[in-house]
Amino acid sequence: MSFTVGGCKLTDSMSIQRESETQPNVSAQHGEEEYLLSPLDLLRVVWKRLWVVLLVAVLLSGVVVGISLTQTPTYVASIKIFVGQKGGLSETSNAYNLQLLTLTMVELLNSRPVAEAAVEQQDLQTSPDELLDNLSVAALPDTQVIQVDYSDSDQQRARRTVNAVGEAFSYQIAKRSPDSNGITATVWVKATTPDAPVSPNPIRNGLLAAVAGVVLGLGLAFLLEYLDDSWDSAEEAELVSRVPTFGVIPQFEVPKSVMKGKF
């Protein structure tokens, strides 16, 4: 309800109250729609919390590298076994059949009888079960070659053990295929003493930890920014409070000499 006095329009208090109850809701929705982070705002948040990102990355990388340096190094020695036939290949189909046979050889090589024979023949200071736990056998795709890897904390023992496995397996296959067309398993490439451990790798682990630390640090930086209820600019104050800003009081410091002169 409104009326005019002397050319001026006046509104009663009830109308003002009703308008005040409805208008802020519209402004709030409008403010929420406008309060979106732009790419520049994201960069500002990252720059503001850069110390958090760097701190998390450095701490996580340092912890991972420290743990890696305390771990026992693991060395891997490898051999390659060629699966063939004593009489040679007469038909192309025989090569395909030998490739299928190679897959069977993989299962036989990674078995307890071969491990027991290797331990007994070379007097290895390990048990057959432990040998099989550290043994890895795989057929190279589309070939008649089997690669055998053995992992150990001692590089000399790794080389000696995997060579013993190859010799024991080759001997057992030769004993079970005595005829002229029998299957052969020949150690084509013997193992050498590995120079460097395959694990742990402190440099690689540290780099991966640093990347993960940067990701975690960015997440923490945005979380801190979300929890921070302070206003950093006049524009942000207008968006949050939905009240226009008429002026900004700059922050300044009074020199200590001036403060001392007053007392």
Band of pLDDT at residue 239, cut at 50, 70 and 90: low
What's the mean pLDDT when you consider all of the chain? Answer: 79
Contact 37, 30 (CB under 8 A): no
Query: For 75-189, CATH number?
Result: 3.30.70.1130
Residue 241 has pLDDT above 60, yes or no: yes
Angle between helices 13-34 and 234-241 (to 10 degrees): 130
| pLDDT > 70? residue 206 | yes
Q: What is the mean pLDDT of residues 229-248?
A: 68
Give residue-wise pLDDT tens across range 186-196. 999 999 999 88
Distances (CA, A) of 168 to 38, 100, 189: 68, 22, 15
- Judged against a pLDDT cut of 60, whether residue 26 lies above it is answered with no
| Better pLDDT: 104 or 6 | 104
Q: What is the pLDDT of residue 225?
A: 80
Distance CA 217, CA 54 (A): 7
Q: How buried is 164 (Cβ within 10 angstroms: 0-12 exposed, 13-18 middle, 19+ buried)?
A: buried
Query: Half-sphere exposure of residue 85, counting CA atoms within 13 Å on the CB side?
Result: 14
Residues 135-150: tens digit of each pLDDT: 999 999 888 899 999 9
The pLDDT value given to residue 235: 67
pLDDT of residue 1: 47
Closest CA to 218 of 25, 16, 57: 57
Dihedral (C-alpha) 199, 202, 206, 212: value to the nearest 10 degrees? 20
How many CB atoms sit inside 10 A of residue 39's CB? 7
Average pLDDT (193-211) is 90
Provide the pLDDT for residue 11: 46
Q: Please report the pLDDT score of residue 170 as a whole number.
A: 92
Starting at the earlier edge strand, list the strands of the sheet with 135-139: 135-139, 145-152, 75-85, 183-189
Confidence of residue 39 (pLDDT cuts 50, 70, 90): confident
| Pairing mode of beta strands 145-152, 135-139 | antiparallel
**pLDDT at residue 263 greater than cutoff 70:** no
Domain extents for the chain? 1-34, 40-71+200-245, 75-189
Give the CA radius of gyration of the chain.
38
Q: Which residues contact 137 (CB under 8 A, 6 or more apart)?
A: 106, 109, 110, 146, 147, 148, 149
End-to-end CA distance of the chain: 60
pLDDT number for residue 12:
46
pLDDT of amino acid 15: 46
pLDDT at 252 over 70: no
